Amino acid sequence: MNLPHRAFRERRNAAALNIAGVGASLAACTGAAFRLLWAQTATYAALSTVVIGTIWAASLRMRARRNGIPVGWLMSPVFACVNAMLCMALIGMGEGRAGYFDTIGMVVLGGGLIGAIVWIPALVLTLLFFGLPIAQAQRIAARGLAGADRGEVIVGLVSTVLALVALVGSPPSIETVLALVAIASGLAATTLGILRARARRAFVRRVEAGEVASFRVEPSAEGKVLVRVTTAGMAYRVSDFVEEIARLEGDDVVNVSSLST
């Protein structure tokens, strides 16, 4: 079969890279901010954020909804609170708190206090700088396969740019490592999205030029569609079975209708 399956199927590689990239980028930015405001806690804030931030980034991709709103978005304040408590727990362990109950009290009370003073404003900034681009990418992705790749490109570029800001604004530290991870992940996801789109467009152009057997581009009421033509029968009983593969927008695939291996 001449159809490049990898370019026409939903792939999770770019999504996984962007989940890691967003988590690392968010942690790098958080650590850089804490290093300016409260330097001795920067490492702990970065470590807690890379864990919770990565889980948050993954939750935003969940299909589950409540009242039409994705559950991941509704859970954002909960993630911010958990991040605050985890940060306080790491600070307690790092500073060698003597008592178990002292540590628990510090986590609950200190985490709640920091959550109100620091992490709630941080959540607002997170939703502004990370959330809005991710939401825009999800709206674009809803349009089909080409939109999904464009969405991953947007998320990859945003996490890369924000990580660069943290990298430039921080001395060599854990934020540096996290920023480099975010940049590598974001650029890799962006590259995958671009290459997949180019591969699909190249295939469609080859089909339109008549260079690919068993496939052709045909007009329809909704625009051009990519179809696969299967010839069945023998002699004068030969007939063609036309199967719609994908709907096209320009020279790229918008949505895949069906694709058998």
Q: What is the pLDDT of residues 55-73, one digit of tens each?
A: 999 999 887 778 778 888 8
Is 239 domain-assigned?
Answer: yes
Helix (H, G, I), strand (E, B) or coil at 97: coil
pLDDT at 256: 62
Is 46 domain-assigned?
Answer: yes
What single-letter amino acid sits at 258?
S
Calculate mean pLDDT across residues 101-127: 69
Condensed to tens digits (0 to 9), the pLDDT of residues 4-55 reads 446 666 567 899 999 999 999 999 999 999 898 888 889 999 999 999 999 9
Q: Clarify whether residues 173 and 227 are in a common domain.
A: no
pLDDT at 6: 60
Q: Clarify whether residues 165 and 224 are in a common domain.
A: no
Range of the domain at 229: 214-256
Condensed to tens digits (0 to 9), the pLDDT of residues 79-102 reads 988 888 888 788 877 766 544 445
pTM: 0.82
Helix (H, G, I), strand (E, B) or coil at 133: helix
Q: Clarify whether residues 199 and 218 are in a common domain.
A: no
Percent of the chain with pLDDT over 70: 78
Q: Clarify whether residues 135 and 234 are in a common domain.
A: no
Is 261 domain-assigned?
Answer: no
Q: Clarify whether residues 99 and 168 are in a common domain.
A: yes
pLDDT at 26: 96
Classify residue 58 by burial, with Cβ atoms within 10 Å: 0-12, 13-18, 19+: middle
pLDDT at 110: 59
Is 209 domain-assigned?
Answer: no
- Intra-chain end-to-end CA distance of the chain, in Å: 8
pLDDT reading at 124 higher than 50: yes
Q: Return the number of other C-beta atoms located less than 10 Å from residue 147's C-beta.
A: 20
Q: Clarify whether residues 47 and 122 are in a common domain.
A: yes
pLDDT at 252: 63
pLDDT reading at 187 higher than 80: yes
Q: Among 66-75, 122-131, 247-256, name the one with the lowest average pLDDT.
A: 247-256
Q: Clarify whether residues 225 and 165 are in a common domain.
A: no
Q: Clarify whether residues 174 and 231 are in a common domain.
A: no
The strands making up 215-220's β-sheet, listed across from edge to edge, are: 215-220, 223-232, 239-249, 252-256
Q: Clarify whether residues 21 and 128 are in a common domain.
A: yes
Is 48 domain-assigned?
Answer: yes
Measured distance CA(10)–CA(175) in Å, rounded: 32
Please state the domain count of the chain: 2
Is 208 domain-assigned?
Answer: no
Calculate mean pLDDT across residues 167-195: 94
Q: Clarify whether residues 195 and 219 are in a common domain.
A: no
